[in-house]
Structure 1
Amino acid sequence: MKQHSILLFSAMLLGLGACQKGEIPNLNTPVASEIITNGTKEQIDNLAVAMESGMRPTLNTYFDAIGIQGREIYRFSGSEPRYTTELMGTSPLDNNTFYTTNPWASRYRVVRQANILMDAVNASSRLSANEKKGYLGYAKTVMAYQLLIALNMQYTNGIRTEVKDPNNLGPIKGYPESLADIAAMLDEGKADLTGSEIVFPVSVVTDVTPAKLLQFNRALAARVAIYRQQWAVALTALNESFFDLNGDFNKGYVHIFSANSGDLLNPVFLPQNNAGEQRLAHPSYATQIAPGDDRIGKATLRAAPASLDGLSSNRDVWIHRSNTAPVYIIRNEELILIYAEAKINLNQLPDAIVALNRIRTGHNLSVYPGAASQAALITEMLHQRRYSLFAEGHRWIDMRRYGRLNQLPLDRPGDKVWDKFPIPLPESNQ
């Protein structure tokens, strides 16, 4: 897999000037404006590398914040008490602190970089039409993914989907409208990637081709479709993705990290049995897992339990097993579960059971023994998503989508499960 080495120019783009509205870097800088109007192929490639690399900062904050809400994890930190107070619901969420402002700023910074890249590509006389389509299709796919992450946190508070002009931002739109815009952006990316040429570095997948980036785009489109309850649309997108009912669960697209100079280490990694910063499995993960389920290996026993603020766990989250381990964006196991969900909601229950049994038997379990009803299979599907996608950023969103947040455990008197995060203060002031 390719290394995310960031050239000096790309590093400059990551820190362009003072932040404007919504923490989006200013387009109107000499460096950016010169490249937009007269960029070389190397400079445009650097823009693409910077855009892709920018997806990785604050992933730990995002996964921790929504993992705590989904009661998948505890996050213990001697220097940050808000993991076990505000994020667990003992006091209101803060609209001007690290868990709100940092993920928002990071995601919109990438969106801004994607817009700069698209402007530079559209203005370039050095690229063929099909080469331009490759850059544009990938930029729109990345932009849609970043907006989806922001929307996952904001939910009904909504997000801005139109931010091309930092001095004239579009309105904050509601949840359905934002999802529709994200789906449309992915469709535009699909159209661009069709018949394109990829002549720039890409690290989310090995041996990159236009077809592979198109499959990435369609996999994300399937995820968005189930959020919109568009079940037939989800199945169509799956058929155009890398979905393989009998394939490797872990085939997919990833963020890459390394210890090389100028690169990032995996920010989500914490060692087992760590005495300081700790990311722990919620106790219910182990107590509610079926006997023999090999997914217990995602929550390994500690040498000694860890406790803080009335919370305790004896298991570490063990998803990322080194500081250079990749972080999955989307993988085939999720696509199989999307297929099952769509089939259930279309009342095509035998197909859904086949998919659920693929997950079950793939994790050392017997075939599904329960009722072949829509309600029972939804519960089974959510259960399998819980264990297959543990700590990958889905449980809270899944329970919210099905109106089941009240089924998540409350560990102490006064704890709450929030359904959304507040819009960051700098953004709400606009």
Structure 2
Amino acid sequence: MKTLHKYLGMAALAVGSLIACNPLQLDEIIDPNNPSVESVSNNASREQIQFLLTGLEFRHRGYVTNVSQAWNAFGRETWYLNGSDPRFQTDWLGQAGRTPDRAYFGFGATGGGSWASPYQAIKQADVLIAAAQNASTLSATDRSAIAGFAKTIKGYQFMIPANFVYQNGIRIDVADPLNPGPFVTYEAALDHIKTVLDEGDQDLSSAGGGNFPLRLTPGFASFNTNAALRQVNRAVAARLNAYRKDWQGVLTALQGSFMDLNGNLNAGPAHPFGAPPDAFNPLYYVPNALVTTMIVVHPSVIRDATPGDLRVANKMLERTAPPVTVSTDAGTLEGRYQDKRWASNTSPIPFIRNEELILLKAEAHANLGQTTEAVQAIDIIRNAAGIGPYTGATTQDALINEILYQRRYSLWAEPWGHRWIDARRYNKLNEIDVSFDGGTVFTQFPHPQSELNWDSYIGN
């Protein structure tokens, strides 16, 4: 945790000012180029709070590149073929018996987007909440709305390291980054995240249903009221409750979410991207580009698809250019299909969508033995994909297998690694096909070495 940034936000803030009684006496400028925690912790201006909020949205998308490239490779939704460095294949795919260690390749010294970036977002949320609570420029309802938004993002971000290290556990007490709390179990972490999200929901409720008091990026264009942000909060809570196996909790959360059984399956909040000085969409690749580095569709996804599935046609481009190929210990890996979801390199990337919520509804009903409701939700997804209603067996196992299959295509390659987590949730990791790359499927990752070094440093 020692890598957590002390200086937060998207832009420079002027923190020096003249003292009225003595024009030569200046406030101490801790950092002339960045806002320090101290400069916003006591009666921050509305503009400073806005900078912190925008900074939180920036931090919120920090996981996308690493999680999309790595976790989707773990679940064999994609391969990240990299002609410059074979370790993206050999190490991430577990070839030749490779297993994760505390300095595993591709996650940076502290875990990159799978570990450090989420904690940076969590700390940014904490600073935003504290600054808003101490700002006289904000009303009580403004403070509640900002706290609710920050806790929603905080809950979402906690789920990333929790699912990365899984049963190895995460830290949930990071209020003091120089003295973080102990690691807690996966189950305890999920319970803590539920508390954070529920508090965020209560804060947004207390703020009323009006417009959110500050500017949000276009990723929240359809969710810029307190009431709409509550729906996002409950959508995230529904995903969390599925991991907690609280199936009634999933359905309850969905009732307060933006789930719409008759609505646009792609509706939902997104991470925005743009031209410099912003960052480009990291998942966009020029169609048929002659490159040796690209995220490609795993061959099993094409092989196992239902004939006529519109999700394959809409999301996956069969290259007319030569395949993307790399050489590995297990032979040549070849990508004949690439991602075609993004219209351009500035397209936003959704982080939770209506389609996932409908599938969560189906999963909850199936686990509760409510067959009719489960099939109805499944059929919404199947009909939208152009493959017709479900006609298979209606035992619980059969329905779960069908739902996991639909999730594989509906949520393909989204920045979360759904298939890897889904297979682990249902003890089906051994069903992920590794025959194309001769690798293994990892269950979880150890804590980064620097995280344990920090404990040793504190102990001394």
Q: Given the two structures, how large is their TM-score scaled by the length of structure 1?
A: 0.91
Q: Structure 1 residue 262 and structure 2 residue 277: aligned?
A: yes
Q: Unpaired runs of 5+ in structure 2?
A: 1-8, 15-30, 456-460
Alignment of 1:130-279 (within 5 A): 130-196=141-207, 198-203=212-217, 204-207=219-222, 208-259=224-275, 261-274=276-289, 275-279=291-295
Q: Provide the C-alpha distance between the structure 2 equivalents of 1:413 and 1:129, rounded to a whole number of angstroms.
A: 56
Q: Structure 1 residue 125 and structure 2 residue 136: aligned?
A: yes
Q: Is the 8 A contact 2:10 2:52 kept in 1?
A: no
SS in 2 for 1:186: helix
Q: Is the 8 A contact 1:6 1:263 kept in 2?
A: no
Q: Is the 8 A contact 2:258 2:354 kept in 1?
A: yes
Q: Provide the C-alpha distance between the structure 1 equivalents of 2:35 and 2:280, rounded to a whole number of angstroms.
A: 31
Q: Provide the C-alpha distance between the structure 1 equivalents of 2:437 and 2:227, rounded to a whole number of angstroms.
A: 52
Q: Structure 1 residue 106 and structure 2 residue 117: aligned?
A: yes
Shift of residue 181 of structure 1? Answer: 0.5
Q: Unpaired runs of 5+ in structure 1?
A: 11-25
Q: Provide the C-alpha distance between the structure 1 equivalents of 2:35 and 2:359, rounded to a whole number of angstroms.
A: 47
**Aligned-pair identity (%):** 39
Q: Structure 1 residue 55 and structure 2 residue 60: aligned?
A: yes
- Which among 316, 339, 342 is matched to residue 338 of structure 2? 316
Shift of residue 94 of structure 1? Answer: 4.1
Q: Structure 1 residue 92 and structure 2 residue 99: aligned?
A: yes
Shift of residue 413 of structure 1? Answer: 7.5
**Greater alpha carbon shift after TM alignment, 413-422 vs 157-166:** 413-422
Q: Provide the C-alpha distance between the structure 2 equivalents of 1:313 and 1:263, rounded to a whole number of angstroms.
A: 30
> Deviation string for 1:106-149 (max 9, x for gaps)?
11111111111111111112211110001101111111111111
Q: Structure 1 residue 347 and structure 2 residue 358: aligned?
A: no
**Distance of aligned partners of 1:212 and 1:185 in 2 relative to their CA distance in 1, 3 Å threshold:** same
Which residue of structure 1 aligns with residue 303 of structure 2?
287
Q: Structure 1 residue 74 and structure 2 residue 79: aligned?
A: yes
SS in 1 for 2:336: strand
**Greater alpha carbon shift after TM alignment, 351-360 vs 312-321:** 312-321
Q: Provide the C-alpha distance between the structure 2 equivalents of 1:226 and 1:209, rounded to a whole number of angstroms.
A: 26
- Which among 36, 47, 60 is matched to residue 42 of structure 1? 47
Task: Report the aligned-residue RMSD.
Answer: 1.8
Q: Is the 8 A contact 1:271 1:321 kept in 2?
A: no
Q: Is the 8 A contact 2:272 2:347 kept in 1?
A: yes
Structure with larger Rg:
2
**Number of residue pairs the alignment of both structures matches:** 408
**Greater alpha carbon shift after TM alignment, 201-210 vs 344-353:** 201-210
Q: Is the 8 A contact 1:269 1:322 kept in 2?
A: yes
For residue 200 of structure 2, what is the amino acid of its counterpart? G
SS in 2 for 1:307: strand
Q: Provide the C-alpha distance between the structure 2 equivalents of 1:290 and 1:30, rounded to a whole number of angstroms.
A: 53
Q: Provide the C-alpha distance between the structure 2 equivalents of 1:124 and 1:325, rounded to a whole number of angstroms.
A: 35
**Distance of aligned partners of 1:142 and 1:30 in 2 relative to their CA distance in 1, 3 Å threshold:** closer
**Distance of aligned partners of 1:34 and 1:313 in 2 relative to their CA distance in 1, 3 Å threshold:** closer
Q: Provide the C-alpha distance between the structure 1 equivalents of 2:163 and 2:343, rounded to a whole number of angstroms.
A: 26
Which residue of structure 2 aligns with residue 423 of structure 1?
447
Q: Find runs of 4+ consecutive structure 1 residues off by over 4 angstroms.
A: none
